[in-house]
């Protein structure tokens, strides 16, 4: 055991081994007792917290941005949006689109009512 290494660092370093053993059904209490045998004092709640943070850090390291094309020919050809679309006519402020036309209830026949 490297005494200068923290418990969080130890869990991060051995995360793949811990995950594999957890997938086989090894209980977390066993890990806590093994850590105590190695000199790391922790509780079950503390171990779960360190495990959660190690998993979170490992997940963030796996996300990588897409590779940058090395040559300009690898990049997709993008044209300006204005050259692809036909020009729009200017909006006329004097014309209004028709909205809902309310006729009222006078046109309803009594036979249509439930």
Q: How many CB atoms lie within 10 A of CB 19?
A: 14
Total structural domains in the chain? 1
- Please give the DSSP secondary-structure letter assigned to residue 90: P
pLDDT of residue 46: 95
> How far, in Å, CA of 28 to CA of 13, rounded?
17
Tell me whether residue 18 is in a domain: yes
pLDDT digits (tens, 9 = 90+) for 57-88: 888 887 666 777 666 555 565 555 556 777 78
Tell me whether residue 21 is in a domain: yes
> How far, in Å, CA of 107 to CA of 113, rounded?
12
Tell me whether residue 50 is in a domain: yes
- Please give the DSSP secondary-structure letter assigned to residue 60: H
Structural domain harbouring 51: 7-61
| Predicted model pTM | 0.51
> How far, in Å, CA of 43 to CA of 28, rounded?
10
Tell me whether residue 107 is in a domain: no
Tell me whether residue 22 is in a domain: yes
Tell me whether residue 90 is in a domain: no
Q: How many CB atoms lie within 10 A of CB 8?
A: 16
> How far, in Å, CA of 37 to CA of 43, rounded?
13
Tell me whether residue 81 is in a domain: no
- Per residue of the chain (114 residues), give pLDDT as tens: 556 789 999 999 999 999 999 999 999 999 999 999 999 999 999 999 999 999 998 888 876 667 776 665 555 655 555 567 777 877 776 776 666 666 677 777 778 777
């Amino acid at each position: 055991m490297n005494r200068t290494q923290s418990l969080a660092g130890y869990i991060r370093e051995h995360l793949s081994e811990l995950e594999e053993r957890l997938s086989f059904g090894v209980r977390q209490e066993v890990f806590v007792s093994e850590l105590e045998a190695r000199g790391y004092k922790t509780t079950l709640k503390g171990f779960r917290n360190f495990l959660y943070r190690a998993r979170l850090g490992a997940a963030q390291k796996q996300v990588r941005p897409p590779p940058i094309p090395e040559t300009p020919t690898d990049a997709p050809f993008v044209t300006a949006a204005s050259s692809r679309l036909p020009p729009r006519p200017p909006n006329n402020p004097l014309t209004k689109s028709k909205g809902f036309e309310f006729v009222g209830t006078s046109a309803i026949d009594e036979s249509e009512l439930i």
